[in-house]
Chain A
């Protein structure tokens, strides 16, 4: 792995509503998908809007669960809505994103 790779990661921000059913499903699915990515290449942030929704407002999030996937350099930002059960696009993004790292 190059030095640049150590600095750049795939960043996943998941906005959830407490332990509501879709939020729980989405969290579980995200961790499953990320299992295939080495820890040093990704970072997961779970943001509970019940606790603090200001970040959601800042990011223009209107529903939960919503996942914002991007590189750490804020390039190639992608937003996914719903409980992430349809994961094809996310997996595609992860592959593509990792190639770019």
Chain B
């Protein structure tokens, strides 16, 4: 059958479709086949497809793994670092090329090799221990040890270990990398060694620095200086040393904060020194001065002013030259300042002493004339006449003036000191005993006589005068009573002793302190306390020479005297006398000391205080007076009736009566009776008690033996002068050679001697005297020490040679050398007391 064209076309189309469908099926691009009644899903190749996919995946992964391995090996072999892998036992299972070459490892022997096979014997134990730890902990770590490389040398190898785990966390071993750190290690060792050396050097230098700093601190400490350092203006780095704080009396922690420091300093500086401080400081800070040095007063923590010296230098300056940082040292110069003041005082005292000594010398010469002529004049005038009384007043005034000049001489250390070795404790015991009975009852006296040995070489009379002066002053300083303490102790005066400020040699001294609990003194008074004529007492009560003569006596005895006092806190005098060897005289007071006395006289003491009376009686008996004692007026009258009494000494205040009544009663019985009053009360007040009581006949308690002797002598000589006048008449025909270049003085004395019946020849020089001595052959020579050609000592020696047996009497306006005055049979200080003078002659005739 022949097909038509459309049929052919249709069949062709169907065939094409079928082919296309088969192709699609073959290609597996068909999901479903549609039947007449249902749709059938086509899945014939699904399983095959899955298998194919799995196979493909496996092939892909294998390829990837091969690639990864190839990449890893390429990387591992390409790196110079040794890379290796161990199994969980620690055996090597992989090494890279570098590792194999470094340690000469072969692939076939890896399984039997561990790190331990290469370890340095010295590191083995430690390494094995570490290796075990690493495999126990299974953590990343770093190990360093010496390992043997291919050429047999040991090198320092640093290995970094990373643990390996499977997907199910099973430990597989370690992967690691190792590098040669030998150079680094050697460099580290070299560095450590270098560091060690540097540290040693640093330690040494630090030690040196520390030592030098300590030396510097010690040196600064030794100098007594305190250091300060601060910026300008003061900042938090302010530094003050411990010593600095100590100087000002503070502990370092008590010093102010830096913010308050400047104000604190200004508040503590003496108001009078502030301007100087600020001016100097500002000049220094502004660059006007190179350094800064001031001396100022600073308030110590104790509240007192101390002197400090501050010296600063700039540590840093700004471009304008202004100081921005400074360092300085401060020193306590209080002692130096005090010493300077002491030296000034000593110089002043020395100058005043010389001045007053010179005046006293001339003054004594004049007094010699006044006393000489007034005595003569008095004798020539009618007894009891007004004129004679007036001349006696002149004589008394001259005598008072002589006492003043004597004190001046004492101050200027130009009086005669009859030095002898005494026991100071004994002397003070006696003075204390005397004072106990003569000071007011409200003044308690204590003695702590601890010095041993207690021997000093002094004039006992003068030293007694010194202590009596102090006791009297102490009593006046305690108007309402108090304590007076005498204390002795042996001290060693070294150069640094606070009281050793005068030029006395260092050595052993007896220190006598006399302390009272009186009103004390302010510093102005204290400064002038030893000045001649300085007195705090109201008009006429004091001469102002008591303490200055004490000063002179102590200084002349080779000692020093100090006074310490503050208002309201009492006063302490300290007297240092050099310890001497030798034995004290038994009767140390009177054996060598000549007091003026009139022999053969009897004295009645009227005093109700038995101790005071007994003491005075003993003193007078030692002066060879006959002494009677009475406690009341009636007793006195009784004794007076029964005995011949030449002098009565009566206390002003007596129980029931008073001294004036005693005077009236007894002088009524015997008008020529010599009479003295005694008082323990204020002198001025006592003088106002009665017109009969005068300064000349009033003994003020306490009195020294010398004062007592002098008053007794004066009172007796006043009354019995006329009777004594005949004594020298026996000397008629005796010859006196009088040598003095002072014409007026010589004339006065010559006149007196001639008046007494002597033949007097005068010479003005030594040469003239020697010549006249041969021609005149005198029994006595009276010579001044200072002559125009030769001195009195030389003249005395020459005269003794040419005129054996001649008595030579020296006289001078002031004290001469104690030893040299031994050249004379007797030595007098002008004005010569006529009575004493007479004694010398009467003894020899």
User: Contact residues of A with B, CB < 8 Å?
Assistant: 15-17, 20-23, 25, 49-50, 53, 56-57, 61-65, 79-83, 85
Contacts and interface: CB of A to CB of B under 8 A. Distances in A.
Interface stretch (B27-35, B112-120, B641-649, B768-776): B27-35
A46 to B, nearest CB: 13
Given A49-B32, A81-B30, A63 B41 contact: no
Interface of B: 17, 20-21, 23-25, 27-34, 36, 38-39, 41-42
7 contacts: A17-B31, A49-B34, A53-B38, A62-B21, A62-B34, A64-B32, A79-B17
A65 B21 contact: no
Given A50-B39, A81-B23, 18 more contacts: A15-B34, A16-B31, A17-B31, A23-B31, A49-B32, A49-B34, A56-B34, A62-B33, A63-B24, A63-B34, A79-B17, A80-B20, A81-B20, A81-B30, A82-B20, A82-B29, A82-B30, A83-B24
Chain B interface SS verdict (over half)? mixed
A63 B42 CA distance: 9
Contact of B29 (A15, A16, A62, A81): A81
A22 B17 contact: no
B39 A22 contact: no
Contacts of B29: 22, 25, 65, 81-83, 85
Nearest to B35: A62
Q: Which 10 A-B pairs have the closest CB atoms?
A: A82-B29, A20-B31, A82-B24, A17-B32, A17-B31, A83-B29, A81-B24, A22-B31, A81-B20, A64-B32
B21 A17 contact: no
A58 B17 CA distance: 16
B34 A65 contact: no
Contacts of A20: 31-32, 41
Contact of A82 (B27, B33, B34, B39): B27
Contact of B31 (A21, A56, A79, A80): A21
Given A17-B32, A20-B32, A49 B21 contact: no
Nearest to A50: B39
Contacts of A65: 29-31
A86 B603 CA distance: 177
Contacts of A23: 31
Contacts of B24: 63, 81-83
A15 B39 CA distance: 12
A25 B29 CA distance: 9
Contacts of B39: 17, 49-50, 53, 64
Nearest to A61: B34
Nearest to B36: A57
A49 to B, nearest CB: 5
From A17, A20, A63, residue with most partner B Cβ within 10 Å: A63
A64 B17 contact: no
Nearest to B43: A20
A97 B578 CA distance: 155
Contacts of A22: 28-31
Nearest to B19: A81
Contacts of B33: 62-63
A17 B17 CA distance: 19
A23 B21 CA distance: 15
Contacts of B28: 22
A57 B32 contact: no
A55 to B, nearest CB: 10
From B17, B23, B25, B29, residue with most partner A Cβ within 10 Å: B29
B659 to A, nearest CB: 161
Contacts of B41: 17, 20
A82 B22 CA distance: 10
A57 B21 contact: no
A65 B27 CA distance: 13
A50 B33 CA distance: 11
A15 B29 CA distance: 13
Nearest to A22: B31
A81 B21 contact: yes
Contacts of A85: 29
Contacts of B21: 62-63, 81
Nearest to B29: A82
From B24, B33, B41, residue with most partner A Cβ within 10 Å: B24
